[in-house]
Structure 1
Amino acid sequence: MPHVIVDPESTSLQERFALIKTPRKSRKRYPEGCVDIVATEQAAKDAADSAHNLHPAVVYGPSVSSESQRIYYLVRWL
């Protein structure tokens, strides 16, 4: 996993349940536009749809990349 610098004063950087829209699950970070944050693990699992490339996951972020894009880091697939 890429090294992530954590600001202990930040409240926006945290682990969250999410749906990630991606055709392949081999990446370790995803742009904000591909990530939908959901309230619970069960909500992520219930909304998953492999036919539409929606995969449940735990992500960390959002963080600003070196390219000034907001990204989420994959913690694990659910």
Structure 2
Amino acid sequence: MRGMVPPDPQTEVSLPRFAVVYVPKRNRKRFPANCVEIFETKELAVSNAAEEKKKFAAIVVGPSKSSEGQYIYYLSEWL
């Protein structure tokens, strides 16, 4: 994906992570860090999702720093 820092197995930068993402519509591919809550397991992410509150479980890659200086996560897949 354009702009994404490739995963680095030796650091904590741009690792795939289980998360719950707050997003009004699920058509976006990147999210600011303040809209992403990271979880240790897929089950925890899925159980903390709440579609009625626009919080969806996903696998995200990040964090990366955008050209605007914000930390962002990229969508890998919705769970």
TM-score in terms of structure 1 length: 0.90
Q: Please tell me whether the aligned partners of residues 2 and 28 of structure 1 are also in contact (alpha carbons under 8 angstroms).
A: no
Unaligned regions of 5+ residues in structure 1, if any?
none
Q: 1:64 to 1:51 in 2, by over 3 A?
A: same
Deviation at 1:14, TM superposition (A): 0.2
Q: Pairwise mapping of residues 53-64 of structure 1 onto structure 2 (< 5 A)?
A: 53-64=54-65
Q: Pairwise mapping of residues 1-78 of structure 1 onto structure 2 (< 5 A)?
A: 1-6=1-6, 8=8, 9-78=10-79
Deviation per residue, 1:5-62 (Å, 9 max, x gap): 3273532320000000011000000000000001110111111111101100000000
Distance (whole Å) between structure 1 residues aligned to residue 74 and residue 3 of structure 2: 10
Distance (whole Å) between structure 1 residues aligned to residue 40 and residue 73 of structure 2: 16
Unaligned regions of 5+ residues in structure 2, if any?
none
Q: Please tell me whether the aligned partners of residues 13 and 63 of structure 1 are also in contact (alpha carbons under 8 angstroms).
A: yes
Q: Which runs of 4 or more aligned residues in structure 1 lie more than 4 Å from their structure 2 counterparts after TM superposition? A: none
Identity among equivalent pairs (%):
38
Q: Please tell me whether the aligned partners of residues 5 and 64 of structure 2 are also in contact (alpha carbons under 8 angstroms).
A: no
Q: Please tell me whether the aligned partners of residues 57 and 74 of structure 1 are also in contact (alpha carbons under 8 angstroms).
A: yes
SS in 2 for 1:10: coil
**What's the RMSD between the two structures over aligned residues?**
1.5
